[in-house]
Structure 1
Amino acid sequence: MDRELPPEIWMQVHELACTDDGRTGRSLSLVSRRFNEISRPYKYQSLAVVRSKQILALESRLSQLQTEFKQVRFLFVHCPHLFLDVSDDESDDEYQTMEGTDMEEDSTSDGTSYEGEMSIDEEEAMLDEAVDLMKLQEGLPSTASVNLDELSEPSIFHKEMNKGDGVVLRSFRALLAAISPSLKILSVHWSSFEPLLLEELFPVLPVLSELHLRRNFTSDDEVEPETEDFCLPLFPALRRLHISGYLDQRPMHFGACLGVLSPVLTHLRLPGYHLHLRTTTSPLLPSNVMTVIVEQIPFHLVNAGQEGLWQLVFGSDTTSKELYVVPRTPDSPEEWKRLWLERVDGRDGCWLD
C-alpha cells in the first residue's frame, strides 16, 4: 500500500501522526526501509524525556544528526536529580509508567540496524561511554558509586550534588540550543539541588510559543534564587506561559520581568502564592496579557474577592481581559506530561479557551 501513494502524502501523514511522546515516530521508522526514510524528518518532532540519563542520551543522539533530521517541535522534560534517578537495572513503578521514548536507533525485526546506522547495543554502549566521559571530565563519581552516608560533610555533599546537576544542565542547555530553531511547545519539570535562575536553565528560544515550567530544589539550605541582574529576553515569541514552583527574585517586579522575558505574552497561568499585595495601583502584569488563570487564591487575598484580584492583576483595565480561579495543578510529572500531550494534540490542556 505504501507504494500506491506518493512520498509527499506519506510525509504529511507522518507529520500529523508524530504528535505524542515519541512512540509513533519510532514505530513508523520500523515499518519498512521506505517508511524509515520518509519518517526521518518527523521521528523526533515530538518527544518526552523522563529521566536525567535520557537528557544526556537525546542530546548525544541529536548532535550526530543533520539539521533537517532534528526538527523537534514539541518537547517534555522531567529531570530528577542525576544521583536520585533510577538506574536501568532497577525496577520503579513511577518510571515504568512514564518510560516509552527509547533513544535507541532504528533496527529491523531481527535486531540488525539499517545501513549506516548503529545497532541498539552499539548506541547504548556509546551513550554509556559518553555519560562516563562527562563524569570523568568533571571529576564526578558514577551514580552507582555514590554513597550518601559517606558524604557526612555538608560542603562535600553539596559539591557532589551540584556536580551532578551541572552534568545534566549543560547537556540540557546544549539540547535546547540545538533544537531552538524549531521548538514550539516546551514543558519542563525540573528538580535540582540548588535553585536555578531562568537564564541558567534556558538559552534564548526564538520561536518558542508555549512554555510550561515547574522548578523545585531539594536543598534545605537554599532559598529562591536572587540576583541583581534584570531579566533577559529569553522567549521573544512566547504567547502562553504556565509556571509553578519558585520564582527568580530580581530588582524589577514580576510583571516587569514578564514584559522583558516574553514581550508578546497573552496567556498566563500561575499559582496564587505568586500574587502579592502591592501598594501601587498600577497593574501587576503587562497590558498585552489578556488571559490569566490563578491556581487557588492564597489566604492573604481571600478577603479581596474577585474584584480585588482583578485590580491586582489588571488594574482598572477591563477591555477584553479574562481572569479565572481554578484548583492547583498537581505537582506530579505525570500530570504535567498529560497536559503537555493535550496541547501537542491541539486540545486545551491547562488553558480554558
Structure 2
Amino acid sequence: MDSLPLELHAQIFEFACTDDGTTARALSLVSHYIREVAAPFLYQSLSISGLKQMNDLCERLATTPPHLRRIRHLFLSDWTAADVRKHTSAPSDMERYDAERSFAARILALAAPTLEALTLVVSCPFTAPPLIGELFATPFPRLADLAVHGFYPFPHTPGALPALRSLRLSGHRNPHGLFQLGSLAAAAPRLTHLRLSDIAAAAPFARELHAAALPHDPSSAAATATGGGVGLAPALPPSLKHVAIDVRRLQQGVHFRGTLTRGLANAHDKMLALLREVELRRGDTALDAFAVAESDGWEMYGELRREWLVGLGIAVEQESL
C-alpha cells in the first residue's frame, strides 16, 4: 500500500466508493492520509432516508467545498423504510412534512450539477407534487438514470434533463397528459427507456398512449378522443425506444376503498385492451420494445432502493432493505 502513488490510491478509492456510502465512511476512519485521499469520494454515492439523515447531510454539505461534494449516485427518500411501512400521514404533522420537503429540495439542488443516477421516493402525499415539481424544474446536466415514486407532475422544463436516458415513474395511477404538447421530449431529448409503474383503471392514459404509439387517421374517433387536433395529438418522444407499463390489478377492498364499481372495472379492462393492442402491434410503432406486466403491486421503497443498488453493481437480498 505504501509503495503505491497517491493517484493510484485515489483511483482505487473512487471505484470502491460506489455503494450506499458505507465504504467512503469507513475509509475516512482509517487514517488522516486515507481520509484526505478519499475525501473527494465521500459523497459520491449516498443512500439517505428520513428527516434526521436529510438534516445531517444538509449540515455536512453546507460546510463542504463544492469540489468535495460531488454526488454522482443518490437514493433519497423523505421517509424511512419504517415510516413507509406505517404509511400514516396527517395534516397535524405539516411542520415535519415541510421540513422534509425543504431538506430534500436542498439536497437535490446541491447534487444537481454532478448527479448521474437518482432515485427519489416521496411517500408523503402532501409534499410529493411540489417536491417532484421542483425536481423536474431543476437542471440536471449529467443525470442519465432517474426513478421517481410519489404523486408526480410531469417533466415540463425544456432542456432540464439533457442527458437522461432512462426514466421510471411510479405513484400516478392515471398519468393522462404525459405525452401531450411534447413536454416530455423537450425536457429529456435523449430519453430512450420509459417505465411507468402502478397504473390502474387508466383508460384516458391508455387511449393517449395508443394514439401516440400507433398511426391514426387525424379524423378518426381515436384521434378526436385524445384531442387530436393539429398540434395537439399526443406523440411519443422521437428518441424513445423502450416502454414498459406495470399495471396494478384491481382488488376490491385492498387498493380502492369501498365497493369496486362496475365503471372502475370497465375502465381498467378498457385500459388493458388498449395497452395489449399496442403490445401486439409493436411492429407498427417506432419502438424497439413495448411490454405490459400485471401484478398485485410493489412495495416501492424496497423495490426502487434495490434497483438503485443493483445499478451500482451491488447484489442485495430483499430482507436487507
Tell me whether the two structures share a fold, i.e. TM-score over 0.5: yes
Aligned match of 2:108: 176
The answer to whether residue 238 in structure 2 is matched with residue 287 in structure 1 is yes
Aligned match of 1:138: none
Counterpart Cα distance in 2 of 1:52 and 1:201? 18
Contact 2:51 2:100 in 1 (8 A): yes
Aligned match of 1:47: 46
CA distance 1:341–1:255, change in 2 (3 Å): farther
* Aligned partner of 1:199 among 122, 133, 151: 133
Aligned match of 1:231: 156
Aligned match of 2:93: 161
Q: Percent identity?
A: 28
Contact 1:292 1:322 in 2 (8 A): yes
Aligned match of 2:26: 27
Q: Quick one: which amino acid aligns to residue 52 of structure 2?
A: K
The answer to whether residue 312 in structure 2 is matched with residue 341 in structure 1 is no
Q: Quick one: which amino acid aligns to residue 189 of structure 2?
A: P
Moved more, 288-297 or 36-45: 288-297
Contact 2:206 2:275 in 1 (8 A): no
The answer to whether residue 303 in structure 2 is matched with residue 303 in structure 1 is no
Instruction: Output one character per residue of 1:196-249: Cα deviation in whole Å (capped at 9) or x when no partner.
Output: 143334522222111100004xxxxxxx869xxx92133222111011002797
SS in 2 for 1:269: strand
Moved more, 52-61 or 328-337: 328-337
Q: How much does 1:165 deviate?
A: 2.3
Contact 1:268 1:292 in 2 (8 A): yes
Aligned match of 1:151: none
Aligned match of 2:184: 258
* 1:129-140 matched pairs, under 5 angstroms: none
Q: How much does 1:331 deviate?
A: 2.5
Contact 2:207 2:274 in 1 (8 A): no
Please report the RMSD computed on the Cα atoms of aligned residues, expressed in angstroms: 3.2
Contact 2:17 2:24 in 1 (8 A): yes
Contact 1:225 1:247 in 2 (8 A): no
Contact 1:10 1:38 in 2 (8 A): yes
Q: How much does 1:179 deviate?
A: 1.8
CA distance 1:336–1:316, change in 2 (3 Å): same
Q: How much does 1:55 deviate?
A: 1.2
Q: Quick one: which amino acid aligns to residue 210 of structure 1?
A: D
CA distance 1:248–1:62, change in 2 (3 Å): farther
Alignment: residue pair count: 261
Aligned match of 2:207: 277
The answer to whether residue 200 in structure 2 is matched with residue 267 in structure 1 is no
* Structure 2: gaps spanning 5 or more residues: 84-88, 209-221, 249-267, 316-321
Contact 1:255 1:285 in 2 (8 A): no
CA distance 1:242–1:294, change in 2 (3 Å): same
Instruction: Output one character per residue of 1:65-88: Cα deviation in whole Å (capped at 9) or x when no partner.
Output: 0111101100001212xxxx6xxx
Q: Quick one: which amino acid aligns to residue 334 of structure 1?
A: G
Contact 1:169 1:201 in 2 (8 A): no
CA distance 1:250–1:57, change in 2 (3 Å): farther
Contact 2:133 2:153 in 1 (8 A): no
Q: How much does 1:265 deviate?
A: 0.7
Instruction: Output one character per residue of 1:288-341: Cα deviation in whole Å (capped at 9) or x when no partner.
Output: 101111113853233346443466xx79434x6111233556234122111101
Contact 1:25 1:43 in 2 (8 A): yes
CA distance 1:7–1:212, change in 2 (3 Å): same
Counterpart Cα distance in 2 of 1:335 and 1:249? 21
Which consecutive aligned stretches of 4+ in structure 1 deviate over 4 angstroms post-superposition?
247-255, 281-284
Q: How much does 1:32 deviate?
A: 1.7
Q: Quick one: which amino acid aligns to residue 276 of structure 1?
A: A
Counterpart Cα distance in 2 of 1:177 and 1:309? 38
Contact 1:292 1:323 in 2 (8 A): yes
Q: Quick one: which amino acid aligns to residue 236 of structure 1?
A: P
Q: How much does 1:250 deviate?
A: 8.6
Q: How much does 1:94 deviate?
A: 3.9
Aligned match of 2:150: 215
Counterpart Cα distance in 1 of 2:16 and 2:69? 17
